[in-house]
Amino acid sequence: AGTNEEGKIEMKRYITSQETPEVIAEVLQRPSQKSTDRIMGIVNPIIKSIRERGDAAVLEYTHKFEKATSLTSPVLRAPFPRSMMQLPPETIAAIDVSFENIRRFHAAQQDDKPLVVETMPGVVCTRFSRPIERVGLYVPGGTAVLPSTALMLGVPAMVAGCKKIVIASPPRADGSVTPEIVYVASKVGAESIVLAGGAQAVAAMAYGTESVTKVDKILGPGNQFVTAAKMFVSNDTNAGVSIDMPAGPSEVLVVADKTANPAFVASDLLSQAEHGVDSQVILIAVDLNEQELAAIEDELHKQAMALPRVDIVRGSIAHSVTLVVKDIDEAMTLSNEYAPEHLILQVAEPEKVAEKVENAGSVFVGPWTPESVGDYSAGVNHSLPTYGYAKQYSGVNLGSYLKHITSSNLTADGLRNVGEAVMQLAKVEELEAHRRAVSIRLSHMDKSA
């Protein structure tokens, strides 16, 4: 799969003008996820045992799944010892540069002045924000260590002013946490690191255990077990916890026209393909001829063969496609329908084309903007809606860590101005106490006048 008869790593190619719209819609389907029943059958008992047996259960799962049998406590509390964040200076420098860019971009999203609107004379409506007090940030382990995800989740939590930042991440088999993650945790002021992964980490943060702090919101990507557990706890009123968004496998859609550099296009497709066998990459080729398509395909194969993770790439390329379309408008219609997590525009006048984006998690504009700059260091967030959820969800941003609270403040004149409307609607709804809450005050004003 993902390889043709001669062993070439190749995406399937469709020319939209030669297919029915139904076929194209079918082609743009996400690879289907394992049935939720099966996943929930595994996740439910895990959640139950964490609730019943707390730390002991967390440790058991970590011993079993992470093989970290030497671990005796599931939590590491701040201040984290320097010895746990020994890193080469170039890694420190890279984290520091990325941290600062992410901090700046998210700090600019702060609405520090409350919104005040006088809707009628004497009727003042205000909106102000407050940080969510305790947040749990899930940083996946698995086939790659992801300190960048710790940055993307931790920096906005710090900027928002969340009082307790808890980071959960599966430990390595020797029981230690990746030093990059410890370093990021200390930079963002995390109060603790939960050394657990999967549904058990989510459950521990949702309900709290003897040593894991219960949180108010859980953010971060994860596999199907993590996602299922997040969905479950956010639906459980006993947990009192919310989540950022549903998550699926990572994906990219690249729109390329004749001006695009084939090597750049291939490198962007492969950056996403190497994440996991379930990643999906889509190339929309705008009016490219056979020779131009072949140039991209040759680059894709050549670059893929040189990658350490070529086997993962083979898996994801197996369910990835190239769509050849007639013009940029057709490309953007298809892209908006697919609603990609990442959208890369390697086209003439990319800023103009960016204006046509209706649905996407994050957009990468022009030849000098590979997705990887956004994954790590540009300042934008990489925790983004996948699986078509870009149609209704935003990526993680400062607002993900805030509540917006409104207030109303009326003067006597204000109540005189708006009172009639209130009383009439209360009458319509036959809620007499509502009506009287206004009329009592109005007659009081008349008496004291």
DSSP H or E segment with residue 38: helix 36-65
Phi-psi region of 206 (alpha: psi -120 to 50; beta: other; left: phi over 0): alpha
Q: How far is the CB of 275 from Zn ion (least distance, A)?
A: 6
CB of 271: closest distance to Zn ion in angstroms?
6
382 counts as catalytic = no
Residue nearer to ligand HSO on the CB measure, 208 or 249: 249
Task: Provide the token pair at 446.
Answer: 């008349």
Q: Which is nearer to ligand HSO, 57 or 317 (CB)?
A: 317
- Give all strands (DSSP E) within 227-279, no chain letters: 242-243, 251-256
- Least separation in angstroms between CB 374 and Zn ion: 8
- 388 or 419, CB closer to ligand HSO? 388
The CA-CA-CA angle for residues 400, 406, 410, to 5°, reads 170
Cβ neighbours for 348, distance < 8 A, ≥ 6 positions apart: 257, 259
Name which of residues 154 to 173 contact ligand HSO (CB under 6 A). Answer: none
Query: What's the CA gap between 75 and 59, in Å, rounded?
Result: 10
Q: Which of 341, 351, 430, 432 is catalytic?
A: 341
- Any alpha helices (H) in 124-235, and if so which ranges? 147-160, 179-188, 198-207, 224-235
Q: Identify what 346 binds: ligand HSO, Zn ion, none; CB under 5 to 8 Å per kind.
A: none
Tell me which DSSP letter residue 313 carries: H
Determine the residue type at 112. Answer: D
Which residue in 342, 351, 355, 420 is the catalytic one? 342
Q: Contact letters (x/-) for ligand HSO, 267-286, by CB under 6 A?
A: --------x-----------
Stretch that binds ligand HSO, among 55-63, 141-149, 239-247, 308-316 (CB under 6 A): 141-149
Residue 146 lies near ligand HSO (rule: CB under 6 A): yes
User: Residue 139 interacts with ligand HSO (CB under 6 A)?
Assistant: no
Tokens, residue 370: 């590979």
Q: Determine how many CB atoms are found less than 10 A away from the CB of residue 445.
A: 13
Among all residues, whose Cβ is closest to ligand HSO?
375
The least CB distance from residue 148 to ligand HSO, in Å, is: 5
Q: By CB under 6 A, is residue 435 in contact with ligand HSO?
A: no
- Kindly list the distances between the CA atom of residue 436 and the CA atoms of 122, 169, 216, 439, 441, in Å, as whole numbers in the listed order: 20, 55, 37, 5, 8
- Show Cβ contacts of residue 16 under 8 Å, excluding neighbours closer than 6 positions: 24, 323, 324, 325, 326, 330, 334
Would you call 200 helix, strand, or coil by DSSP? helix
Based on CB atoms, which residue is closest to Zn ion, 192 or 279? 279
CB of 376 to Zn ion, least distance (A): 8
The only residue of 304, 328, 384, 418 in contact with ligand HSO, by rule CB under 6 A? 384
Residue 153 partner contact from Zn ion, ligand HSO, none using kind-dependent CB cut-offs of 5 to 8 Å: none
Out of 129, 148, 320, 335, the residue judged to bind ligand HSO by CB under 6 A: 148
The yes or no reply on residue 250 touching ligand HSO (CB under 6 A) is: yes
Q: In this structure, which amino acid lies at residue 230?
A: K
Helices 412-428, 432-448: axis angle to 10 degrees equals: 150
Q: Which residues form the interface with Zn ion (CB under 5 A)?
A: 375
Least CB distance to Zn ion at residue 65 (A):
24
Asked if 275 is an active-site residue, the reply is: no
Q: Which is nearer to ligand HSO, 217 or 275 (CB)?
A: 275
Q: For residues 274 and 300, what is the distance between their CA atoms, to the nearest angstrom? A: 12
146 binds, among Zn ion, ligand HSO, none (CB under 5 to 8 A by kind): ligand HSO
When the beta carbons of 278 and 375 are compared against Zn ion, the nearer one is 375
Q: Which is nearer to ligand HSO, 309 or 435 (CB)?
A: 309
Shortest reach from residue 144's CB to ligand HSO, in Å: 7
Which residues fall within 8 angstroms of residue 437, CB to CB, at 6 or more apart?
none
Per CB under 6 A, which region of 145-153, 236-244, 419-427, 436-444 contacts ligand HSO? 145-153
Instruction: Return the exposure string of 266-284: e unless at least 16 CB atoms fall within 10 Å of the residue's CB, then b.
Output: bbbbbbbbbbbbbbbbbbb
Using Cβ positions, the residue closest to Zn ion within the complex turns out to be 375
Q: Any idea which residues carry the catalytic annotation?
A: 341-342
**Contacts to ligand HSO by CB under 6 A:** 146, 148-149, 250, 275, 375, 382, 384
